[in-house]
Structures are given as structure tokens and as C-alpha cells.
Structure 1
Amino acid sequence: MRLASIDLGSNALTVTILEQKYGKIHLIKEWVKFIRLGQSLKIGGQLHPHAKMRCLEALRSLSKKINDYSVDKILAVGTAALRNANDGEKFIETIEKECGISFKILSGEKEAELTFKAITHEFGYIGKSFFMIDIGGGSTELVKGDKVKIKSRISLNVGTVSFSEKYFKHDPPDSKDQNSAIKELDKMFSPLSLEKPTSLIIGVAGTITTLKAVELKMDNYDPSRVHGKQLTLNSIIALSDYLLSLSSQERAKLKGLPHERADIIPMGALILQTILRKIHHQRIVISDHGLRWGMIYRWMTENL
């Protein structure tokens, strides 16, 4: 059986085609389109017309590619941008009408739950309990739990796109920009100061995988060199300082960094180091398998 899993986020639209065979999952194909759906979006506001146009154009193209792979089931969800916009539900109706794909908008809690499902499935053999960090374009999800149940979860409206637009007024960000962002991040993540998880710290999503790719200076992204590998707090701080010293144009030339992430990756690095400082941890394990894989694992559990 072939399944297509689609994640429509605030920055990227990602499609993963997986095949279930003899009880195992195999990756067949994956596409990423940087559509920046969360462009200029405020909570309760409307999606930007240009962002919607980019999204529809990308989905029209990808729906044809999905059909070429003869998938049996499509699982499609939208996250922070769609749930924060007051026209999110209306837009997914437009998507279904024009592209033939039915989307469901996830709550922050459900997004965290499904991503955590992937984490426990992928890393259950090396850890009994987990603390998951999922930094997206419009929100950050933090989950603590074990293979049996989630013990706590937090979804915050702190994202690489939204916070970059709000706090980084210069390119590269000047000291005032950086200090304003750091002050707000410190405030937003202050509840984590009470957390001292002894569990395995897992980082998922594009910010964290991209930081590792930049550290490795990868010419072409290779998930096998990222998935299951580690990033230390010291390396994250060093990467953050370096990225903040460069303009977006200069960052776009770095190996391992897609040019579409060049303007938001410094904020992602700041968010990640803030979280690790708050929970007093020096390293994280990286997962390339996040929400889309969690959706597949959940569907298999309920339907096979």
C-alpha cells in the first residue's frame, strides 16, 4: 500500500510518499516547496493573497506528481498558518475544489501528538522517555512523554517566519533586533526553566535538520547523514552567531542551506538555543521523520 502524507506549514509544503510492505514503511519520494503561507500573517488575520497563490500553484503541481505514484490514500494536514488565519477553513475548501486534496487543520496539541508518535516509533529502541522540540514557521511544539503516553505538551505561537518578520527589521539583524528577539524568546519560554528533563531530547522539522546540514556543509541534503545524529548547544550557538553576522544573500550561498530558509534560519537557531538553555541540556538528537511520518504511523495503527 502506498500512502501520501502532506504537511502544509507556515513556511514549507512537504509531500512524502511512503510504501507499507510486510509491516514496514519505506520512503519512496519526497518533495518540498517553500511557499511561505505564513507571510505577514497575524493571529486572527487573513492569509496573504500572494501566499495563497503560491500554495495553490505548488499543490496543483504536486497533486499531479502524487497521482503518478498511484497512491492508495492521501493524508493532508495544515498547521500554524491555517489555524491562526481567520480564513484558514475557507482556504482549504478552495484547495479541495481546485486541487482535489482534502486537508484537515490540526490544533497545536494534535500536531504535537502526531509528531511525537513518529518520535516514539523511530527512537523507542534507544530511549524510554522523550522531550521533543518541533520548531516550525508559525509555532513551536514541545512534548514530554514516553512510548505509552504523553505527559505534557505545549504549543506556542513562536515560529521562525512570524518572529523573523516581527523582530528582524534589518539584514543582517543589528544588536537591537537581536536583543529584542532574545528578550521575547526568554519570556515566551520562561516556563521551561522549571523543566529539567532527564529524557532523550529529540529535535524535528526543517530548522533543526537544516542547522545540521549547514554544520556538515552538505552539497545536497542527505537525510541519512542527519537522522539520528546530534547537535550540541555549543555548535548551535556558534552557528547562530555566524548566521546572524551574515546577510540573507550571504547565507543563501552557504552549503546545506536552501536559499528559501536564508532569512529565517538565524531565528530558528536562536529559538533552539533558548530552549536548550532553559531545560539545561547540552545536545539534541535529530529526527528527519516528523509530523508526516506520525500521520502515517497513526493511520496504520487505526486502519491496518
Structure 2
Amino acid sequence: MILAAIDIGSNATRLLIMQVMEQVGHDPSFTKLNLIRIPLRLGFDVSKNGAISPQKKVHIIETMKAYKFLLDVYEVDHLKACATASLRNASNQEEILTEILKETQIDLKIISGEQEADFIFQNHIAEKLNKSDSYIYIDVGGGSTEICIFSKNKLRGKGSFNIGTIGLLENKVKKSDWNLMKEFVKKKTLHYENILAIGSGGNINKVSSLSGKKDNKPLYLGELEDYFNELSKLTVDERIKSFRLSPDRADVIVPALDIYIKVMQWAGAVKIFVPKIGLADGLIRALYDEVKKSTSTETLK
């Protein structure tokens, strides 16, 4: 079975295509066939004008046409396509969704921040780690930050906050937003000691790559602070040259680090694991569960 997920984010769009292999008596295996990322940066339009500009509208339609071509080439069996903060907050969202459906037959759905946190939870990351530990999952995007808290293999809290890298760059994040996230993190982690962080998002993935850490080796809070201090002193062009960052990464990596550092400090976490998964992976898992449920229902009929 071949499944695909489309994630239309504030900084970039992603198409993830995976093959799912099933064996009786074993958990299904998920193998990545392709991941295509396009830095559309829709969030900057919405932050400045409250809507997607005509130029960006053309770009998103063309991107979705390209994705549709790849879906056909890979003979994808099932697709789940979602958009997050950028389209969620765009005044012309309906116009864009209608155009995408008309041009590509892709039924793109806008999800809430809470739904985004739910899909991220579908990755079951904490279940693969030490079940006696407590974890705080931090997903930082261009338009929002999603947080899930696990302890003893159970979800203890989840929240979505209007704090994203693009909003910080545009000085659109309110102090009240920071306070809301701080209060949530402190309250939900109050009774857990030695909590560990799990980070997802393109920026923490890049920091992990820059660090040279091998798989399953965590980054330390002090290392994030060092990268934040070093990168903050450089211009965007200097970050591109010194750290070989893409232009669409070089500007957002500093505000992203700011978010990860603050959340870790509030939670009392000193280590962060970076499994390099994200919303698209969670969408695939959710889609698989939906397909299996539908198949089971059909069988019962």
C-alpha cells in the first residue's frame, strides 16, 4: 500500500510518500519513498496582509499540480492533504482551496492547531523511548508551535500556540502568547522530574545536522543556546555562508531556537532528541489508521 501526505505550512510545503508493508503478527513497516519540500513561505503574506497574495496563489497552485503529477507517477493509493497556520489565518482561504480542488482534484483541508497537535501525536515517538521517563514534544513551525507532554507512555497534555518563526520575525507575536505557552508548559510539567524534550521541525533538524550528532544522540540545552548566540550575531547572508544554510532556513532558524530554548527551560529539560519526523509523518500514520478502519468496516458489511 502506498500512502501520501501533503503538509502546507507557513514556511514550506511538503509531500511525503511512503510504502506500508504489512505482515501478520507484526507491526506495519513504513518506508519513505520520497519527500519533496518547497519553500513557498506563505506565512509572510498572511503576516503582512492577512491574505495569500496573487503571486503566491499561483505558486501554491503550481506546486499542487506538481505534487499531483508525482502522486500519479507513484500510483498512490490514499492521500491526506492538510494546511496549517498560514491558510488557517488567510482571509482568502476558501478561494484558494476551491482553485486547488478544481485544478488538481486534491481536497486540501485546513486543520486547527489542536488537530495539528493530534496528528503529531500519531507519530507515537514517546512509545519508542523509555516508558518510565517523561517527555515534552515540541514542534515549531512558521505560524505556530505545538506541544505534547507524555509520561509513563500516556499523553498528559497537548496545546497549540500562536508563536511561530515567521510571526517572531515580523514582530507579530504578543507577550500574552508567550505567557500562555509558558503557563501551559510549567503547569503540565510541574510534577515530572528529569523531563526529556523531543523536537520536530526543519530548524531543529538542521541544528542536529550541524552538530554532527549521530542518530539517537540528543542535543543539550547548552548546545542550543550556543548556536542561538552564535547565529544571532550574524546577518542572514553570513549565516548562509558560514553554516551553508538555505536562504529560507537562515532567517527562521534563530527565532526557532529561541522557542525551543524557552520551552525547554520552562519544562526543566536539558536534553532534546531529534528523530527528524514531523506533521507529514503523523498524517501518514493517521491515514493508515483511517484506511484500516474503513477496510475493517467494509469487511464486516
- Normalised-by-shorter TM-score class: 0.7 to 0.9
Counterpart of 2:160 (choices 155, 158, 161) is 155
Q: Aligned partners of 2:140 and 2:165: how far apart in 1? A: 7
Aligned length: 281
Q: Which has the larger radius of gyration?
A: 2
Q: Which residue of 2 aligns with 1:172?
A: none
Counterpart of 1:134 (choices 128, 132, 139) is 139
Q: Which residue of 2 aligns with 1:189?
A: 181
Do 1:41 and 1:47's aligned partners in 2 also have CA atoms closer than 8 Å? yes
CA positional deviation for 1:100: 2.5
Q: Aligned partners of 1:61 and 1:188: how far apart in 2? A: 39
Amino acid at match of 1:138: G
Sequence identity of aligned pairs in percent?
A: 30
CA positional deviation for 1:49: 2.7
Q: Which residue of 2 aligns with 1:232?
A: 220
Q: State the TM-score, normalized to the length of structure 2.
A: 0.85
Amino acid at match of 1:16: L
Q: Aligned partners of 1:83 and 1:5: how far apart in 2? A: 18
Q: Aligned partners of 2:119 and 2:61: how far apart in 1? A: 25
Counterpart check, 1:124 vs 2:127: yes
Give 1:215-294 correspondences, 5 Å limit: 215-216=211-212, 228-255=216-243, 257-294=245-282
Q: Which residue of 1 aligns with 2:299?
A: none
Counterpart of 2:44 (choices 39, 43, 61) is 39
CA positional deviation for 1:110: 0.7
Q: Which residue of 2 aligns with 1:30?
A: 35
Counterpart check, 1:112 vs 2:117: yes
CA positional deviation for 1:186: 5.2
Q: Which residue of 2 aligns with 1:175?
A: none
Give structure 1 stretches of 5+ with no counterpart.
168-180, 217-224
Q: Which residue of 2 aligns with 1:5?
A: 5
Q: Which residue of 1 aligns with 2:21?
A: 21
Q: Aligned partners of 1:77 and 1:281: how far apart in 2? A: 31
Q: Aligned partners of 1:104 and 1:228: how far apart in 2? A: 33
Counterpart check, 1:209 vs 2:205: yes
Q: Which runs of 4+ in 1 moved over 6 A?
A: 181-185
Q: Which residue of 2 aligns with 1:295?
A: 283
CA offsets, 1:28-68, max 9 Å, x none?
11111000011142499222333322222222222212221
Q: Aligned partners of 1:166 and 1:205: how far apart in 2? A: 21
CA positional deviation for 1:184: 7.4
Q: 1:48 to 1:64 in 2, by over 3 A?
A: same
Between 2-11 and 62-71, report the one with greater CA deviation. Answer: 62-71
CA positional deviation for 1:210: 1.5
CA positional deviation for 1:182: 11
Q: 1:149 to 1:193 in 2, by over 3 A?
A: closer
Q: Aligned partners of 1:265 and 1:239: how far apart in 2? A: 10
Counterpart check, 1:74 vs 2:79: yes
Q: State the TM-score, normalized to the length of structure 1.
A: 0.84
Amino acid at match of 2:13: L
Between 87-96 and 104-113, report the one with greater CA deviation. Answer: 87-96
Q: Aligned partners of 2:54 and 2:154: how far apart in 1? A: 40
Counterpart of 1:50 (choices 39, 46, 55) is 55
Do 2:147 and 2:160's aligned partners in 1 also have CA atoms closer than 8 Å? yes
Q: 1:230 to 1:184 in 2, by over 3 A?
A: farther
Give structure 2 stretches of 5+ with no counterpart.
23-27, 293-301
